Structure 1
Amino acid sequence: MIFEITSTLVKELREKTGAGMMSCKKALQETDGNFEEAIKTLRQKGLASADKKSSRKAIEGIINSYIHTGRKIGVLLELNCETDFVARREEFKELANNLAMQIAASPQVIYISFEEIPKEIFELEKEIELNKEDLKSKPSDIKEKITLGRVEKTLKALSLLNQQFIRNPNITVDELIKEQIALFGENIKIKRFIRYTLGDE
């Protein structure tokens, strides 16, 4: 018996996942109409293509504000996606709020990604590490390797995408974004953010 894929079911899956109508229909056909399995199928396919989508233009989206309990820390965040359809979804708004909470909870974070960190900061950290006492007696190649490892660790602490996600420490913020790209079927990018702390200059 072939399960009949109704337009209502396809529409419901699209609303749940944000994936295209044809992708939803195909996923339901592949899973004999099993709604939960169809979501998993779309998610797996999306994860596999998330990196491809990351080069696509994302100029829609929202600006989200978050004020932390006690009203002494506030965050403004611009989160971009490809279409207004995704920008209006509650799940997208929830993602923006979770990211703003992450920024509020991570006072050391200054940059969105590791790649954004200026070269001069990298060079400064490298010089600091190279001159540490515990490295002075090491061979130059070992010294270089240890230094680069330490610098990378230090600088990743400044990058939002490299942080463990506060609501699920098993994944990084970067992995969270990729999961959402898979869910929505669109590129998602953190465009910019600013953190306000009461009393800061």
Structure 2
Amino acid sequence: MAEITAALVKDLREKSGAGMMDCKKALTENGGDVEASMDWLRTKGLAKAAKKADRAAAEGLVAGKIAADGKTGVLVEFNAETDFVAKNDGFQNAAREFADVALATDGDVEAIRAAKTSKGEVVQDAITNLIATIGENMQLRRSAKLSVSQGAVSLYLHNALGEGVARMGVLVAMEGGGDVAKLQDVGRKIAMHVAATAPLALSTDELDPEVVAKEREIQTQTAMESGKPREIAEKMVEGRIRKWQEEVVLLKQPFVMNPDQTIEQLVAETAKETGAPAALKAFVRFALGEGVEKAPEGDFAAEVASMTGKA
């Protein structure tokens, strides 16, 4: 009988898509013969994952969780092929479980996949077994974690499909030594704003230089096409770039619940109300299936406005 080595288990796992323990059992049952083990896994319905792996998974859920102390929050995106599966209790429970695991790790998606659930099952193995049970390709696509030393991290889930799961999730980290409940409330309102406006960066300093350069060139070419010499066009562009930044930088954006006030001004007002310094440190926005073929998103700005009577 061939020795069941880690390399042999890894080989079978890659070929079959089945869980590590299932692969080890299959090899043990079949004397280390990989082909026979593949057949064994197929008869048990555990090799379905491999056949699904090349199918697009743009549906599913975004799961979010805030730690008990309110200072850390996580988002995970768990994808499947159809929105029907997103309504499955087993799928939703798995997404919530993976968010719990994310809180216990550094938030990196690879670390989550390698970690164990509360039931002692490796997350990637749990996904593989769920694929075999439900019959669709699935993947834990991405994750994020925000923390503050003092203050609060707030979570907003848009288009919720169940407790802690939705089609979009936003985390906002508010740092400050004042009233934590106030910081949580303002953070959640800003998270709703982020869901509506999809800012590119927190501040102008954090904008991707390549994105800025591309926008500058577009605005320059637009000005030149109107007949202006390049040197004149470039001067005109500075004003246009500032206006563009107001549209895409979170701190510069008009607050959707009060357009007369920018997010930066809202944070400053919050600091005055709490009697302590307050700062918006970071945000994360996960819209289900971003970067993967998907249906268009709804008009979140209109929805947020309707929630607050500002429509």
Q: What TM-score, normalized to structure 1? A: 0.61
Give 2:123's aligned residue.
Answer: none
1:87-122 superposed Cα distances (whole Å, 9 cap, x missing partner): 53x222211111111111112x02111232133332
- Counterpart pick for 1:96 among 168, 175, 187: 187
Instruction: Letter of the 2:153 partner, please give it.
Output: I
The CA distance in 2 between the partners of 1:184 and 1:127, in whole Å, is 43
State the identity as a percent.
28
- After superposition, residues 63-78 of structure 1 pair within 5 angstroms as 63-70=153-160, 71-78=166-173
The CA distance in 1 between the partners of 2:269 and 2:150, in whole Å, is 19
| Higher RCO (C-alpha 8 Å, min separation 6) | 1
CA RMSD of aligned residues (A): 2.2
| 2:201 is aligned with 1:106 | no
Give 2:268's aligned residue.
Answer: 178
- After superposition, residues 109-148 of structure 1 pair within 5 angstroms as 109-132=199-222, 134-135=224-225, 137-148=227-238
* Unpaired stretches in structure 2, ≥5 consecutive residues: 1-147, 161-165, 292-311
Q: Would you tell me which structure has more helix in proportion to its own residues?
A: 1
User: Would you say the 8 A contact 2:174–2:184 is kept in 1?
Assistant: no
Give 1:79's aligned residue.
Answer: 174
| SS at structure 1 position matched to 2:189 | helix
Give 1:53's aligned residue.
Answer: none
* Unpaired stretches in structure 1, ≥5 consecutive residues: 1-57
1:122-141 superposed Cα distances (whole Å, 9 cap, x missing partner): 22221222122654522455
| SS at structure 2 position matched to 1:72 | strand
The CA distance in 1 between the partners of 2:187 and 2:290, in whole Å, is 24
Please report how far the alpha carbon of residue 78 of structure 1 lies from its aligned counterpart in structure 2 after TM superposition: 1.4
Number of residues paired by the alignment? 139
Q: What TM-score, normalized to structure 2? A: 0.41
